[in-house]
Amino acid sequence: MPIDPVCGIEMDEELATIHEYNGKKYYFCCEGCKSIFSRKPGKYSKK
């Protein structure tokens, strides 16, 4: 199961909001976490 890189919540892939960055898919629990990631993706994409 994917883990939201912003808040750390584990979620079902079918329910997640997805964003692609540098060729990798990232999964988010909500649009808020996706928005935070989008502002500073380098901070969260290293996790």
Give the pLDDT score at 4: 97
| CA distance linking residue 7 with residue 9, whole number of Å | 6
Calpha distance 36→38 (Å, rounded): 5
Site of tokens 């969260």: 44
Residue listed under structure tokens 């883990």: 3
Return the CATH fold of 1-47.
Answer: Ribosomal Protein L24e; Chain: T; (2.30.170)
pLDDT in tens, 2-47: 999 999 999 999 999 999 999 999 999 999 999 999 999 999 987 5
CA distances from 17 to 39, 44 (A): 16, 16
